[in-house]
Structures are given as structure tokens and as C-alpha cells.
Amino acid sequence: MGEPVNIPPIQPPRLRLHVIASGSKGNCSVIEDAATGECAVVDCGISFNAFRAGCEECGIDPSRVGAVLVTHEHTDHTKGLGVLTRGLARLGASPVVYASPAVHGASADLQAIQDAVDLRHFSAGDDISIGRVRAHAFRTSHDAAESFGFLFGCEGDAVGFMTDTGVVTGEAAEALSRCRILAIEANHDLEILAHGPYPAFLKARIAGEHGHLSNAQSADLLSTLLCDELECVVGMHVSLNNNDYRLPREALAAVLEREGHPARALVGFQSRPVSV
């Protein structure tokens, strides 16, 4: 008989995505290093009670939050930053808060906490170290002072995160390739938006190049990002007025089915968390 073959054990995925809340009433997601428990929060437009309840449901220890990353200054992404950082401080956590200089300058919520937290700036193309996790910032196209998505990477695992963009920038397309988990905006259904109650200027803003991706645009994006590594795609920032949670999931699932891809399609919700 030959020498025994030592097969290394299969390692579990390193990164997890927890969507605590996603939508126009408030956004907050958590990237967790499953090996260490260290976490990074992306945006906080919800109350600390809602954040803590979401963490409990997802099995996250909020005292392990080491960073808060701000995508842009709109209040559905920032209005909870003060209560978040104060609440985390009571738990013994002092996360670094990261925002671009332009977003910092445009955000009253960031300015309100700037003297009480370690607030650091980043620019597009920067890599932010959060424990062993690296967050790469890339530009998105939104009607904000600046807006960003992030590629989170650790030991070969990758999570792509992008909401609040009217088009897919070249930087975004490059960053989101070869991810195991994709969290991409699927904000509105074009027919529901067109026939809904919003005034014409707001409909144009939502559907424009500095607004939000539709279900169809999100599905088109997914079709360009399919890869062997992909295990799950999550439709994000789903509008309660111009969409239905079923529609973006079906649009993303249709792409996977058409291409014979085994990944799952999910959506993030406004009022209940989703973990991947």
C-alpha cells in the first residue's frame, strides 16, 4: 500500500454578511470575520436598540465592532451614527469611523460625533484595515457629496457591497468581480415606479444616473459578475413604495437559473435581518 494521503480539512468561509436593515427608512449592515468575531458596520441609519436586536438575532457580538464605514451622507445611512457609537462605547467598543472628506463635510451626523470618536478619512481606491479584513473603497454614482461601495477581503474570501448608485461605475464592476457574496442594489421596479404616486422629478431622480439601480439593472449587473466563487447574491435597498421583495429576488434568481449557476438569491429587508 502507498503512503496515506493527508487531505486538509475544508475551511469554512472567512467572512459573513449580516443585513440588519436595508431600505429608505434606514440602512445598516455588518461584515463579520467568522474566525475572530471582529466586525465592521457599514452605515447606520437605525436606532441602537434595532441594531442590538439585529446583532442578537444574527449571533453577532456588538462589542467586537472595530470600524464603522460610511458610504455617503444621506440620513437613512447616517442618522443612527451617534446612538451607535455611544451605545457601543457603553459595551466597551470604540470603533474607528471612516468617511471621505466630502461626506464628512456634508454630514451633520458625522460632524456631531467628530469630537467623540476616532474619525478617519478615506478616498476611492484606498484600502482600510479592520483587524485581518481589508475593505477596498470604490466610487458609486449617487446624488451625494460622494458615494462609495466596498470590497471586503480576507484570506481569499470576498464580499462585495454596493448600494445607492444610478449606474455601475468601472471601478465598481472591477471591484465586485470574483466575490463569494454580492450585496448589490435592487431598489425599484420600473413599472411600479412609473405608475406610482411619486412626482415626476422624484421618479426621474430615482431612475437617473445618480439615483438607484432597478431590479432589471441589478440582474444585468449580476449576469456580468457570475463566477465560480459566487455563492449568494443579496438584493439591497429595496423600496417599500416602488418595489416588492419578491420581484428583485425573482429577477436575480432568473439570471442564476438561466446560466445554470448554483448561487442563491436573497433580498435584504427593512425590518428584519438576513445573514449569509
pLDDT value of position 185:
98
Cα–Cα dist 3/237, whole Å = 54
The DSSP bridge partners found for residue 97 are 68, 119
Mean pLDDT of 133-141: 97
The residues, ordered by sequence, that sit 6+ positions from 68 with a Cβ below 8 Å of its Cβ are: 40, 41, 42, 44, 81, 84, 85, 95, 96, 97, 98
**How far is residue 173's CA from residue 11's CA, in Å, rounded to a whole number?**
28
Which set of grid coordinates corresponds to residue 200?
415626476
CA distance 192 to 185: 17
Element (H or E) spanning 251, and its range?
helix 246-258
Is it the case that residue 4 has pLDDT exceeding 80?
A: no
Q: Which helix (H) or strand (E) holds 82?
A: helix 81-90
Q: Does 200 score more than 50 pLDDT?
A: yes
Instruction: Kindly state the DSSP code that residue 154 receives in the 8-state scheme.
Output: E
Cα–Cα distance list, 185 to 4, 34, 152, 166 (Å): 49, 24, 17, 9
Q: Which amino acid does the sequence have at 180?
A: R
| Tens digit of each residue's pLDDT (9 = 90 or more) over 9-66 | 446 789 999 999 999 999 999 999 999 999 999 999 999 999 999 999 999 999 999 9
- pLDDT tens digits for range 230-265: 999 999 999 999 999 999 999 999 999 999 999 999
| Average pLDDT value for residue range 173-192 | 97
- Model-level pTM? 0.94
Domains of the chain with CATH codes: 15-270 (3.60.15.10)
Residue 191: all three cell numbers together = 413599472
Mean pLDDT of the 67-83 span: 98
The CA distance from 198 to 270, in Å, is: 20
Q: pLDDT band at 1, cuts 50/70/90?
A: very low
Position 99 scores a pLDDT of: 98
pLDDT of residue 5: 55
CA 161 to chain centre: 4
Mean pLDDT over 85-114 rounds to 98
In the three-class reduction of DSSP (H, G, I as helix; E, B as strand; rest coil), residue 85 is classed as helix
Q: Kindly tell me if the per-residue pLDDT of 3 is higher than 90.
A: no
Question: Span 54-82, mean pLDDT?
Answer: 97
- Running DSSP on this structure, what letter comes out for residue 62? G
Give the mean model confidence (pLDDT) for residues 66-86: 98
Read off the pLDDT of each residue in 138-150 and give the average, rounded to a whole number: 97
| Average pLDDT value for residue range 156-163 | 97
Assigned C-alpha cell, 36: 475572530
pLDDT of amino acid 13 = 81
